């Protein structure tokens, strides 16, 4: 099946766009919950389906193999954007392209997308206070006009409703256990029990009616696959394939309607559910090794399946995930490099009682990744005190193949995040990585909006007393003339005050999106798979969960900020080698003409070398950042939460930020991830990096990111892997939240830049996702190459 | 002088060392070596004094270093910087002015306390991996008092200690180090003293005697390390003699590590601007290494590569 992954061009499809708009056109008078439910059912009933050669799981996520369906929620695909896609690795048939423009003309005025863009534009662009901020590059992408910087449309695969980017792990176990049948029955019961005695009684009725509409359509959709498989079996001459098709038909007749009883049935039911979570580049696999285990165990005990057969299914699933893609408009393509997608399966960790949860499936998932050598889906290994050494070594064996996965995350710090937010320890033990490394507890919390905040830009605005060098206008508040500040504390307080002010505006931007999405994008399917999802009768955007994790603001460049503050503390306030005025002059000149001064600022202590002087300042920046987030109200309830995963935002973030006092020149890339040292500045080996990072209180963060690169020579023997496993465990049980490794040598990457055609299979870890190196942008390629390589 | 204040010359401290002893270790490299092995991979470690290292590629030939040398050892000839090594005393005045970072001093005076503060930073990782500190060089016997002082402080702070030594020194000097040593990695280059002298400049009698006492009298666990140099010591005869010696004289020997010769040290000789008597040798073939390893095992000695 892996052979079928070799394609050069990804087809853009218009079926979903057409079906969605057809439906919307006919449901004008309905409440939004029902409009969206009907739209969903219309897609499920009509989208073209197919079963590919060698496939064992039904469901592909688009009307064509490898297809990307144009979405209707975000932006319209203009001719200009389509042309740009065609010049890259995408293609569109002439008929589809023509239909797309026809549909654009017909529906541009009344699409939901129009409303989102309009709401964002009117609230943020046409607002004198917020408009300068939206352009400033403090958050990405900087808006270029008042209607908003949505950066064009999206095209994705999947049978669910948008919008993408929901970070949620739904209750997969419920679908496996009760089937659609149980969920439909519950909705019907709720309807019959409904009494019209509250303001939201009607809303609940719409919700439950919607649940019945969508789940029934979903069952019909599965039956269409059963019909197709039977039809194909009838014409199939090879006995083995015929038998496979008949078995697939049997299974699709049964699930997702009925509860799953065997591992194969559970796989199909799971896969159909997963595809309903897409289109979203962040659809989450959840704790697959936990909720699938009972089916595996029973089949193994009753000798219905072998590990080889399980492995085959897991590998087929990997191939299928490779075919689910997404692409965005030009502006967003730069932000998330390499067809970024974050389909994340979490393995290991703890059971509700705190005992180790690792099982045979955890190992088989690792084996499937190693066997197929495919970068998606990614795996995230939960690590705690009692994680078996063999499991971590096995995971590092996969890392060693150069695949860039799995990532490792620490139960202690994640669980502290959730218990700190009010959940019980038992609930916290059921967390998983959603999206990149954003933590969410299955069915209990979810994140809907994540925005990146460029801290060095905020600091620069403070250095210029509220003036933004990028847009050449006043953006922030007047925090004072920094050349007149007498102590480092006074200066730092000014930087923090400016940061807090600008973060407040970022939070407003987040809230506008949250509110607009709640109005426009209800989704009864995934909402019903949240905790008490059917019973509550509310969309998941319209509930306040026990712990609110709805919105996160991602810190970018925290390390640069800490390094810059430390250099200023040392050279301006302690040694008094330079005045603040001299520094400002040099920064405004982008260090041109000040090489010696720049070298002094570069040589000041840098984070990542276990030097308390600077590490404590970086830790302070992160600690303050977290406290500001936790003071800002979130539209869905609770507060904004901090995270610190730059994905690849440190590149565009750096592009908008002028020269900084850590010695960086204007426009240069910022420090990668959030706890990785800046490029080439960790000169004291990996342990010093970990120890610097352990000084940062990471518990308040929904996720942090640490990228580390090793040369293959550091991972040669079993004993090398055991030693690295002990480092990973030590970091992750002592305050560390996340670490991931790239194992690849520099020569190979340099050669791949030169001769991409010879390295199509070279996979590197970017940030929370692995990508084919040759498909990364030039800037990100250089950045991956320049991350310090720990060679022994 | 207090133990903490004992001073030595260190040329590198390498954290996260995973190939020199159990667990995760920090290797402390002290400068100076009494042997002159022809295949030496750390030529900058042979002299006990700090030395200038100079890299040709980054050098832009600007000459900023020339006037800074108090001994007038540097000159610029046709755009090339040339340092008269007979005059250079490694003072380092030329290093900080170099805009290209082409010049560097290897070897830094440190007290035992300075070293302790560096190595104890990773204690958490030693504790969780069963690792510790390894004193190596150069040769630790070039600075025995200093090495003993560092190891004493390490033991007082609960760190596991290992030494890596060629064993060429007086028993008394070695003995004071062994009081604070949990594990010895001990190099044996050749069992035949004549050959040993050809390869390293010294015979092996004292080396083997120290080794036998370290194991027999002091009862310290030892790992014998053999750099495999093609055409020098990669013979079956040498392995047989070694196995016999180990079985007769080394009751605490845990295993033999065969270390195939590699060429990573070549660049360093250039940086010292030294024209060594060319040592031309290719790394040994993998099958030869494996054959010798298997032979040792056959003879009843555990051996790894």
Q: Would you say residue A104 has pLDDT above 90? A: no
The Cα–Cα gap between A694 and A696 comes to 5
Q: Tell me: the pLDDT tens digits for B244-281?
A: 999 999 999 999 999 888 765 555 666 677 655 556 67
Domain ranges of chain B: 3-48+109-304, 53-106
The Cα–Cα gap between A437 and A417 comes to 13
Q: Which two tokens stand for residue A209?
A: 């009616």
Q: Scanning every residue of chain A, which has its alpha carbon at the shortest distance from the alpha carbon of B123?
A: A687
Distance from CA of B16 to the nearest CA of A (A): 7
Do the bridges between strand B74-77 and strand A707-710 make them parallel or antiparallel, or are there none, so unpaired? unpaired
Q: Would you say residue A406 has pLDDT above 50? A: yes
Task: Quickly tell me which residue has 């750096």 as its tokens.
Answer: A654
Least confident of A499-508, A624-633, A758-767, B283-292: A758-767
Least confident of A28-37, A344-353, A534-543, B79-88: B79-88
Q: Would you say residue A431 has pLDDT above 60? A: yes
pLDDT of A646: 81
The pTM of this model reads 0.90
A773 Cβ neighbours under 8 A, 6+ residues apart: A749, A752, A759, A762, A763, A764, A781, A784
Q: Which residues pair with B27 in a beta bridge?
A: B14, B134
**In terms of DSSP H, where are the helices of A235-353?**
239-254, 263-277, 288-291, 293-301, 307-322, 330-335
Contact A726 B18 (CB under 8 A): no
Q: Which residues of A lie closer than 8 Å to B, measured between beta carbons?
A: 595, 610, 684-688, 690-691, 714, 719-720, 723-724, 726-727, 729-730, 734, 790, 792
pLDDT of A789: 59
Q: Which of B12, B16, B99, B121 to mutate to test the interface with A (most CBs of A within 10 A)?
A: B16
Are B149 and B30 in contact by the 8 Å Cβ rule? The answer is no
Are A724 and A396 in contact by the 8 Å Cβ rule? The answer is yes
Mean pLDDT throughout B227-236? 92
pLDDT of A453: 97
Contacts of A790 in chain B (CB under 8 A): 16
Q: Tell me: the pLDDT tens digits for A726-756?
A: 999 999 999 999 999 888 777 778 888 888 7
Are A37 and A214 in contact by the 8 Å Cβ rule? The answer is yes
Least confident of A13-27, A639-653, B38-52, B238-252: B38-52
Q: Please report which confidence band the pLDDT of residue A355 belongs to, taking 50, 70 and 90 as the band edges.
A: very high
Q: Tell me: the pLDDT tens digits for B15-53?
A: 888 888 899 999 999 999 999 988 887 788 888 888 998
The values of phi and psi at residue A104, to 5°, are -55, -50
pLDDT of A682: 78
3-state secondary structure of A319: helix
Q: Which two tokens stand for residue A357?
A: 């949860």
pLDDT of A720: 86
| CATH fold match for the domains B3-48+109-304 and B53-106 | no
Q: Would you say residue A336 has pLDDT above 60? A: no
The CATH number of domain B3-48+109-304, selected from 3.40.50.720, 3.65.10.10, 3.20.20.70, 2.60.120.650: 3.20.20.70
pLDDT of B276: 54
Least confident of A637-641, B80-84, B155-159: B80-84
Of residues A688, A714, A726, nearest to B129 (C-beta): A726
Q: Which residue has the higher pLDDT, A35 or A767?
A: A35
% chain A with pLDDT above 70: 94
CA angle B33-B38-B43, nearest 5°? 45
Mean pLDDT throughout A332-338? 58
3-state secondary structure of A683: coil
Domain ranges of chain A: 449-704
* Predicted complex ipTM: 0.84
Q: Please report which confidence band the pLDDT of residue A274 belongs to, taking 50, 70 and 90 as the band edges.
A: very high
pLDDT of A756: 78
Window 127-146 of B, Cβ < 8 Å to A: 128-129, 131
Q: Please report which confidence band the pLDDT of residue A621 belongs to, taking 50, 70 and 90 as the band edges.
A: very high
Q: Which residue has the higher pLDDT, A778 or A210?
A: A210
Q: Which residue has the higher pLDDT, A337 or A177?
A: A177
- Of the candidates B43, B50, B36, B40, the one whose C-alpha atom is nearest the C-alpha of residue B168 is B36
Mean pLDDT throughout A567-594? 98
Mean pLDDT throughout A91-113? 81
Q: Which residue has the higher pLDDT, A791 or A549?
A: A549
Are A602 and A679 in contact by the 8 Å Cβ rule? The answer is no
Distance from CA of A33 to the nearest CA of B (A): 54
Q: Please report which confidence band the pLDDT of residue A424 belongs to, taking 50, 70 and 90 as the band edges.
A: very high
Q: Tell me: the pLDDT tens digits for A51-64?
A: 998 899 999 999 99
CATH code linked to domain B53-106: 3.30.70.20
Distance from CA of A561 to the nearest CA of B (A): 25
Q: Tell me: the pLDDT tens digits for A454-486?
A: 999 999 999 999 999 999 999 999 999 999 999
Mean pLDDT throughout A491-505? 98
Distance from CA of B206 to the nearest CA of A (A): 32
Q: Which residue has the higher pLDDT, A514 or A750?
A: A514
Of residues A691, A726, A792, nearest to B128 (C-beta): A726
Burial status of residue A105 (CB atoms within 10 A of its CB: 0-12, 13-18, 19 or more): exposed
Q: Which residues pair with A729 in a beta bridge?
A: none
A536 Cα distance to chain centroid? 27
Q: Would you say residue A90 has pLDDT above 70? A: yes
Q: Would you say residue A107 has pLDDT above 50? A: yes
The mean pLDDT value of chain A amounts to 91
CB pairs under 8 A between A and B: 52
Contacts of A389 in chain B (CB under 8 A): none
pLDDT of A88: 82
Q: Tell me: the pLDDT tens digits for B193-203?
A: 999 999 999 99
Secondary element (H or E) of residue A771? strand A770-772
Contact B125 A687 (CB under 8 A): yes
Least confident of A102-111, A298-307, A496-505: A102-111
């Amino acid at each position: 099946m892996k052979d079928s992954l070799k394609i050069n061009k990804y087809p853009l499809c218009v079926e979903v766009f057409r079906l969605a708009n057809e439906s919307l056109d006919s449901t004008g008078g309905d409440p939004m919950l029902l409009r969206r439910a009907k739209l969903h059912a219309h897609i499920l009933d009509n989208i073209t389906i197919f079963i590919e050669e060698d496939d064992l799981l039904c469901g592909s996520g688009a009307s064509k193999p490898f297809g990307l369906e144009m979405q209707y929620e975000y932006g319209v695909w203009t001719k200009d954007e389509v042309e740009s896609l065609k010049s890259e690795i995408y293609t569109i048939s002439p008929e589809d392209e023509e239909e797309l423009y026809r549909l654009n003309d017909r529906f541009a005025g009344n699409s939901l997308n129009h409303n989102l863009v309009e709401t964002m534009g009117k609230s943020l662009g046409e607002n004198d206070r917020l408009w300068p901020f939206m352009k400033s590059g403090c958050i990405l992408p900087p808006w270029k006009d008042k209607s908003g910087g949505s950066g064009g449309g999206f095209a994705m695969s999947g049978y669910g409703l948008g919008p993408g980017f929901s970070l949620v792990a739904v209750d997969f176990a419920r679908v496996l256990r009760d089937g659609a049948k149980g969920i439909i029955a519950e909705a019907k019961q709720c309807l019959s029990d409904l009494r019209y005695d509250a303001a939201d009684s009607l809303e609940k009725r719409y919700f439950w009616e919607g649940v019945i509409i969508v789940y029934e359509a979903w069952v019909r959709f599965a039956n269409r696959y059963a019909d197709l498989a039977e039809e194909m079996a009838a014409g199939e001459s090879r006995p083995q394939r015929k038998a496979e098709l008949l078995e697939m038909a049997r299974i699709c007749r049964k699930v997702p309607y009925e509860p799953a009883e065997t591992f194969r049935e559970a796989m199909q039911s799971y896969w159909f559910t997963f595809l309903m979570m897409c289109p979203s580049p962040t659809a989450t696999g959840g704790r697959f090794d936990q909720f699938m285990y009972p089916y595996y165990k029973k089949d193994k005990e009753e000798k219905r399946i072998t590990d080889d057969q399980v492995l085959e299914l897991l590998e087929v699933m990997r191939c299928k995930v490779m075919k689910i893609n997404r692409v965005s408009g030009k502006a967003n393509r730069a932000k998330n490099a390499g067809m970024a997608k974050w389909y994340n399966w979490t393995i290991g960790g703890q059971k509700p009682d705190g005992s180790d949860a690792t099982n045979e499936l955890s190992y088989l998932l690792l084996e499937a990744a190693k066997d197929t050598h495919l970068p998606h889906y990614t795996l995230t290994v939960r690590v705690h005190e009692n994680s078996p050494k063999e499991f971590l070594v096995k995971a590092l064996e996969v890392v060693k193949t150069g695949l860039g996965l799995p990532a490792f995350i620490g139960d202690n710090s994640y669980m502290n995040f959730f218990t700190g937010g009010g959940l019980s320890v038992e609930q916290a033990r059921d967390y998983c990585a959603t999206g990149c490394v954003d933590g969410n507890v299955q069915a209990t919390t979810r994140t809907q909006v994540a925005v990146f905040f460029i801290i060095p830009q905020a600091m620069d605005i403070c250095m210029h007393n509220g003036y933004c060098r990028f847009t050449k206008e006043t953006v922030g508040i007047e925090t004072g003339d920094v050349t007149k500040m007498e102590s480092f504390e006074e200066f730092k307080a000014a930087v923090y005050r400016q940061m807090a002010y600008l973060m407040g505006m970022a939070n407003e931007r987040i809230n506008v999106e949250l509110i607009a999405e709640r109005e426009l994008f209800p989704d009864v399917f995934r909402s019903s798979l949240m905790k008490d999802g059917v019973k509550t009768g509310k969309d998941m955007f319209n509930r306040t969960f026990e712990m609110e994790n709805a919105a996160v603001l991602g810190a970018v460049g925290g390390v640069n900020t800490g390094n810059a503050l430390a250099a200023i503390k040392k050279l301006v306030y302690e040694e008094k080698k330079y005045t603040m005025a001299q520094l400002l002059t040099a920064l405004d000149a982008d260090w041109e003409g000040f090489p010696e001064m720049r070298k002094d600022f570069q040589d000041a202590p840098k984070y990542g070398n276990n030097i308390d002087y600077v590490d404590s300042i970086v830790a302070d920046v992160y600690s303050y950042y977290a406290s500001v987030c936790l003071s800002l109200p979130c539209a869905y309830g609770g507060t904004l939460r901090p995270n610190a995963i730059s994905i690849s935002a440190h590149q565009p973030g750096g592009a908008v930020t002028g020269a900084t006092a850590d010695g960086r020149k204007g426009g240069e890339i910022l420090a990668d991830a959030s706890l990785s040292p800046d490029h080439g500045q960790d000169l004291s080996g990996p342990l010093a990096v970990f120890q610097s990072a352990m000084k940062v209180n990471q518990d308040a963060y929904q996720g942090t990111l640490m990228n580390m690169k090793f040369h293959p020579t550091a991972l040669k023997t079993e004993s090398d892997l055991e030693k690295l496993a002990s480092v990973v465990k030590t970091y992750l049980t002592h305050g560390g939240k996340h670490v991931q490794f790239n194992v690849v040598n520099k020569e190979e990457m340099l050669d791949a830049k030169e001769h991409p055609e010879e390295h199509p299979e070279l996979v590197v870890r970017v940030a929370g996702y692995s990508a084919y190196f040759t498909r990364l942008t030039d800037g990100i390629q250089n950045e991956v190459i320049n991350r310090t390589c720990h060679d022994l | 002088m207090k133990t903490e204040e004992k001073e030595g010359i260190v040329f590198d401290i390498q954290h996260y060392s995973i190939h020199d002893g159990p667990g995760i270790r920090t290797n402390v490299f002290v400068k100076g070596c009494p042997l002159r092995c022809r295949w030496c991979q750390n030529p900058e470690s042979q002299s006990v004094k700090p030395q200038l290292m100079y890299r040709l590629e980054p050098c832009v030939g600007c000459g900023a270093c020339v006037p800074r040398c108090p001994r007038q050892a540097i000159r610029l000839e046709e755009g090339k910087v040339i340092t008269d090594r007979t005059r250079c005393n490694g003072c380092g005045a030329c290093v900080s002015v170099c805009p290209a970072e082409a010049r560097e001093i290897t070897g830094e005076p440190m007290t035992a306390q300075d070293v302790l503060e560096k190595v104890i930073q990773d204690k958490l990782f030693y504790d969780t991996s069963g690792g510790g500190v390894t004193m190596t060089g150069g040769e630790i016997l070039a600075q025995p008092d200093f090495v003993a002082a560092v190891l004493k402080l390490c033991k007082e702070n609960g760190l596991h200690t290992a030494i890596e030594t060629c064993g060429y020194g007086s028993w008394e000097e070695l003995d004071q180090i062994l009081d604070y040593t949990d594990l010895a990695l001990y190099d044996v280059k050749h069992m035949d003293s004549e050959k040993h002298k050809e390869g390293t400049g010294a015979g092996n009698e004292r080396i083997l005697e120290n080794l036998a006492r370290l194991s027999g009298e002091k009862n310290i666990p030892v790992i014998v390390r053999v750099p495999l140099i093609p055409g020098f010591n990669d013979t079956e005869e040498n392995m047989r003699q070694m196995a016999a010696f180990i079985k007769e004289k080394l009751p605490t020997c845990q295993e033999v590590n065969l270390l195939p010769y590699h060429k990573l040290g070549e660049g360093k000789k250039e940086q010292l601007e030294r024209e060594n008597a060319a040592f031309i040798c290719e790394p040994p073939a993998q099958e030869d290494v494996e054959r010798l390893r298997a032979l040792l095992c056959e003879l009843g000695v555990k051996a790894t590569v």
